[in-house]
Structure 1
């Protein structure tokens, strides 16, 4: 969470290995199920995270909107940037992923309920599952929405590293959370975000695995 990486939610810009449509379909399906389950754990605890998912959770808690609706709306402005920066295929896959993730997080609780969920275990599971979900989306030329595209555009135009842009955005989200939620909520949320970013940092390497 607090280390400078190329991007906490890195977005691939080069692709070397060809995936079939069937491989993309199964890879994205598994990735979305993992990420959806992870966010469901986090939402059940009433915690937040960084990026657009964190913004959507805050809006959901404060407004009464479902996470799915808030997540879908928050991501709408980023599609134009994604189309310009990363092309049609990436953007269309990302739109599909955001729509499916929105539905999953809204409807998974119908079949996934908790009598008790330990906050440390729940946030750790969130970080691991959502991290794996993000990795899978990256490897099939998609994303789960987010500020990464804008961060890359700022990097292209100013030279300011995308990782620092996203780090600043996350810092603002959690700073706002300090004034909106109890301290324990913020601390547990930071722990979950740290686990998620650690999964990305240790496992995402474009030189090791780059796919189309």
Structure 2
């Protein structure tokens, strides 16, 4: 269908505005990517995290991890000490806003836009979902809440979406130091657990620890992109295989020429590459296309020292 002159006129106006406004520029560049998947990840995370908090955690006095847990503490402390109830959704949003501003200037506009959407959906659903008590058993609430929360986080990460909060701090420190900073998340979560113990009793602090542990395991089961695999490929067609890895998987390759088989002394080339577990099925497909006769061995959960680009296409 031929586009109307009004469509072309308004599109030209938007593009012109985008050159002068970074936020619009970010939105236009996002539209060229798989933004639907990221938006879906934001919505699903927001809904599942809200169910975890309002249906399982809050009714049983169990605290979540990260900024959501801090928002729960803010709400409880303000009501108990000052008689003023601060909604968890408002506290969650308030804690994230300065971090989002920091991310806008220090990390990137596309990242911040999607993180802002994720935080907004999460706060909206936390406010929207009613507080329901399905069971009075705190351990059951901790486990099932963690399943919902871990699923939401894992699905968001799988779709290249950040939930904000500690993710932003971790990325900033990693960019500056080159190191993962799980210690920050651990320290904050320990503080949350201690506060849970002081507010509700140490029994509930233990339930909160169970929730954090289960959520982490569920997230790891869904989000496999952080798991690295080393593939060693013995092939007679190194150029075709290397081209596939470079152009389809966007991964580097180490080439070992003149490798010799001990059985028939045939000269072959050995290629070594590192992929993520999420890329494994695509890797197998591309290898069949490049060289169906290649011999490939794959080692799972390898440790990486040095630079490995986390692809976020």
- When normalised by structure 2's length, the TM-score is 0.56
One of 76, 91, 100 as aligned partner of 1:79: 100
More helix by share: 1
Alignment-derived partner of residue 200 in structure 1? 219
Q: Which among 179, 196, 206 is matched to residue 177 of structure 1?
A: 196
> Which structure dedicates a bigger proportion of its chain to strand?
2
Distance 1:102 1:67 in 2: 8
1:148 and 1:162 in contact (8 A); partners too: no
Distance between the aligned counterparts of 1:176 and 1:113, measured in 2?
Answer: 23
Q: What are the equivalent positions in structure 2 for 1:1-80 lying under 5 Å apart?
A: 20-40=34-54, 41-63=56-78, 64-80=85-101
Counterpart Cα distance in 2 of 1:182 and 1:53: 20
In 2, the alpha carbon distance for the partners of 1:148 and 1:20 equals 21
Unpaired stretches in structure 1, ≥5 consecutive residues = 1-17
Coordinate RMSD, CA, aligned: 2.3
- The structure with higher relative contact order (CA 8 Å, sep 6+) is 1
Unaligned runs of 5+ in 2: 1-31, 79-84, 226-275, 279-310
TM-score by length of 1: 0.80
Give the Cα separation in 1 of the matches to 2:100 and 2:142. 29
Q: Distance in 2 between matches of 1:151 and 1:201?
A: 17
Aligned residue for 1:156, secondary structure, equals helix
| Number of positions where the alignment pairs a residue of Structure 1 with one of Structure 2 | 193
Paired position in structure 1 for 2:285: none
